[in-house]
């Protein structure tokens, strides 16, 4: 058995910390890409291939590296053939976090503890599908089985949030929308067409920037009424520059016409929109999440064939990111209108840069602990070494005790073992520090640290309602 009770826990202390303090804590999955419709309709899964491989570009990327033809990745290959191709890849994925996640998911949701290989792939395929036929494996059951209490989906600002409204107070977990204004920030990519869609919703032609700003604020408040607690923003380059009213209006008009914009003009546009939105987030107590440092769709041939989000993105280097990031945060902080913020960088070589930027803007009169958070290892850093590197940097430059912890950032309803994976890594890291004399061996203090990072900090940071079950403190 590969995934056993003490997986990744190498000492008696790490095992005790995990099983006593971390294992049973609820999950706050404050950023993911699950479809709220699937939760509202309590969608039932009947195929392991659909449940496991649909939309998962992490797996697609690994399968391509293993020489699997695209027909069995994103193409028209049948479910069984795709599963067998994935099993062949898993066997060759030792050292990749997918190898761990795959076996954690098999164990947690299907009770299967055998290693998945090409030799037993057909047997496990049949075993999983038989389980799906005999049991009501639905989105709601999977969420409840995983002890998830809060889900923050990622939603276009034009969404009617129909399914979030339907889900309100229906279950013992909360599904809240997150405001995602990326098409407005991306002024060089389909901007004019998107503003036309905004105008249709607004009932207003949105011919000036002021009219667009008013529309964005109205959408923020619409999301807030449906329970939104967070906004998320995805950038390649993170840019900021101040702009006059006249400059921002001229840039807006060029964007509407699809005219080329300089890097400085893009910086002024992103800066103005982020500041205007950030001030509104602060008024409402929202969390502003910023993901940056990705270069997307770099494989032209596969982009032309398959489109976006198919596993052909990479880490971006940006030489002036320190200036741009600190300038953006400072622009909001100057008037004391910087909202609670989580920063996620894709380039691990700038971990210290980002963590020290967070430390510059922590002062607040609301007693918010670590108001600007250095977020968990994102995307390519969402693996054992990346998690440890992020937490070590945070420990060195900030306060690990106040860290809001893990998120799935996933489109899969069986990705919650990533929280287990993170918690095991956290407990092993802490145990090693204690045994080396870096951390005190104080059970009360260690319990507080672990439960804060696993659950309590995120619960407080996102101002969630008290859960029905009692959480031992």
Q: Is the CATH number 3.10.129.10 carried by domain 44-134?
A: no
Q: Parallel, antiparallel, or unpaired for β 340-345 and 287-292? A: parallel
Q: Is there a contact between 74 and 310 (Cβ–Cβ < 8 Å)?
A: yes
DSSP labels, 393-442: HHHHHS-GGG--------S-TT-THHHHHHHHHHHHHHHHHHHTTSS---
- Please give the backbone phi and psi of residue 231, each rounded to the nearest 5 degrees, phi first: -120, 150
Burial 173-184 (b: 16+ CB within 10 A, else e): bbbbbbbbbbbb
Nearest to 407 by CA among 289, 269, 276, 236: 289
What tens-digit pLDDT sequence spans the chain (473 residues)?
789 999 999 999 999 999 999 999 999 999 999 999 999 999 999 999 999 988 888 999 999 999 999 999 999 999 999 999 999 999 999 999 999 999 999 999 999 999 999 999 999 999 999 999 999 999 999 999 999 999 999 999 999 999 999 999 999 999 999 999 999 999 998 999 999 999 999 999 999 999 999 999 999 999 999 999 999 999 999 999 999 999 999 999 999 999 999 999 999 999 999 999 999 999 999 999 999 999 999 999 999 999 998 999 999 999 999 999 999 999 999 999 999 999 999 999 999 999 999 999 999 999 999 999 999 999 999 999 999 999 999 999 999 999 999 999 999 999 999 999 999 999 999 999 999 999 999 999 999 999 999 999 999 999 998 644 434 44
Rounded-to-integer distance, Cα 243 and Cα 265, Å: 9
pLDDT given at position 466: 63
119, 125, 126, 132: CA torsion to nearest 10: 160
How far from the centroid of its chain's Cα atoms is residue 408's Cα? 5
The domain limits of the chain are 44-134, 177-403
Secondary structure (3-state) at 340: strand
Residues contacting 13, CB < 8 A, separation 6+? 431, 434, 435, 441
pLDDT given at position 426: 98
Q: Which CATH code fits 177-403?
A: 3.20.20.140
Counting Cβ atoms within 10 Å, is residue 131 exposed (0-12), middle (13-18) or buried (19+)? middle
Helix axes 79-91, 121-134, angle to 10 degrees: 130
Nearest to 413 by CA among 55, 10, 25: 55
Look up the pTM and report it.
0.96
Report residue 10 as tokens.
Answer: 């190498």
DSSP labels, 320-336: THHHHHHHHHHHHHTTT
Extended strands (E) in 346-391: 372-374
Rounded-to-integer distance, Cα 98 and Cα 457, Å: 27
């Amino acid at each position: 058995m590969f995934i056993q009770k003490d997986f990744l826990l190498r000492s008696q202390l790490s095992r005790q910390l995990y099983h006593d303090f971390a294992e049973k804590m609820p999950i706050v999955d404050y950023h993911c890409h699950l479809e709220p419709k699937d939760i509202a309709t309590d969608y039932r899964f009947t195929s392991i291939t659909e449940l496991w491989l649909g939309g998962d570009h992490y797996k697609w990327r690994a399968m391509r590296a293993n020489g699997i033809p695209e027909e069995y990745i994103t193409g028209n290959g049948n479910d069984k053939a795709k599963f067998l191709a994935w099993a062949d890849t898993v066997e060759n994925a030792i050292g990749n976090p997918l190898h761990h996640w795959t076996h954690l998911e098999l164990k947690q949701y299907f009770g299967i503890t055998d290693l998945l290989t090409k030799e037993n792939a057909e047997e496990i395929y049949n075993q999983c599908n038989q389980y799906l036929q005999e049991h009501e494996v639905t989105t709601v059951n999977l969420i409840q089985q995983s002890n998830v209490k809060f889900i923050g989906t990622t939603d276009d600002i034009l969404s009617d949030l129909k399914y979030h409204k339907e889900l309100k107070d229906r279950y013992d977990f909360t599904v809240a929308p997150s405001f995602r204004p990326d098409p407005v920030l991306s002024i060089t990519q389909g901007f004019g067409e998107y503003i036309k869609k905004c105008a249709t919703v607004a009932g207003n032609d949105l011919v000036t920037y002021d009219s667009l700003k008013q529309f964005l604020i109205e959408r923020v408040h619409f999301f807030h009424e449906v329970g939104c607690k967070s906004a998320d923003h995805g950038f390649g380059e993170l840019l900021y520059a101040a702009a006059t009213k006249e400059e921002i209006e001229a840039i807006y008009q060029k964007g509407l016409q699809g005219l080329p914009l300089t890097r400085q003009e893009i910086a002024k546009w992103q800066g103005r929109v982020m500041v205007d939105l950030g001030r509104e987030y602060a008024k409402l107590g929202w969390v502003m999440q910023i993901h940056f440092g990705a270069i997307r769709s770099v494989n032209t041939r596969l982009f032309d064939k398959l489109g976006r989000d198919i596993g052909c993105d990479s880490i971006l280097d940006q030489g002036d990111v320190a200036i741009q990031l600190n300038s953006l945060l400072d622009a909001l902080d100057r008037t004391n209108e910087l909202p609670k913020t989580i920063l996620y960088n894709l380039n691990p070589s700038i971990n210290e840069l980002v963590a020290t930027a967070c430390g510059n803007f922590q002062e607040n009169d609301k007693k918010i602990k670590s108001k600007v958070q250095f977020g968990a290892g994102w995307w390519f850093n969402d693996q054992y070494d990346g998690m440890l590197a992020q937490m070590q940097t945070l420990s060195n430059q900030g306060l690990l005790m106040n860290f809001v912890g893990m998120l799935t950032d996933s489109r899969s309803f069986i990705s919650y073992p990533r929280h287990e994976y993170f918690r095991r890594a956290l407990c092993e890291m802490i145990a090693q520090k204690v045994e080396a004399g870096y951390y005190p061996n104080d059970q009360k203090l260690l319990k507080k640290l672990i439960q804060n990072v696993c659950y309590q900090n995120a619960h407080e940071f996102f101002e969630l309602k008290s859960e029905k079950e009692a959480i031992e403190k």
